[in-house]
Amino acid sequence: MYVIDTSVWSRALRRQKQPNEDSVAADLIRRLVVDNEVIITPGIVLQELLSGLRVDRDFERLTKALDPFSVVLATKQHHLLAARLFNICKAHGLNVGPADVLIAATAIQCGATLVTADNDFRRMGEHVELDLLFVEPPLEADTGAAGA
């Protein structure tokens, strides 16, 4: 079972492919689908992917493309675990965003591997039990700041 982070979905879904980044993400998702692996999309990831689309046609096309994948909406337990993860990370001097800890909490609660290209999750994984599959290369804009 896999939770795909926004960073991987956005690379895989880009129209103008950059072979060293985007095709790796797209190929990984394609392989998971072909292997009949369960792919989970946290509700916050769905929201992040659809936010900022300027054209309704793009919104509808992306909504349709993501429709086959299960969406897990955050429960009270997800939010409680996300708060615990945030507190653990903060105690170790790591600044993480609320969306990232909610995505991590969803993966942990579901017993899933989190697939990401965001170094924030790698740093988070040094302090909490988080099963990660990291898509290389990491995000160029990744500065260690909070965010998805």
**Which pLDDT band, with edges at 50, 70 and 90, does 146 fall under?**
very low
* Residues 118-140 pLDDT 10s: 999 999 999 999 999 999 765 55
Residue 137 is predicted with a pLDDT of 63
DSSP 138: P
Cα torsion angle, 108, 4, 41, 101, sign: positive
**What pTM was estimated for this model as a whole?**
0.85
* Residues 29-57 pLDDT 10s: 999 999 999 999 999 999 999 998 899 99
Structure tokens at 16: 């103008």
Q: Among 111, 101, 102, which Cα is nearest to 131's?
A: 111
Residue 6 is predicted with a pLDDT of 94
* Residues 43-92 pLDDT 10s: 999 999 999 889 999 999 999 999 999 999 999 999 999 999 999 999 99
Strand partners, 71: 41
CATH of 2-134, one of 3.40.50.1010, 3.40.47.10, 3.30.420.40, 3.20.20.70: 3.40.50.1010
Tell me the domain boundaries of the chain.
2-134
The stretch 103-122 carries a mean pLDDT of 96
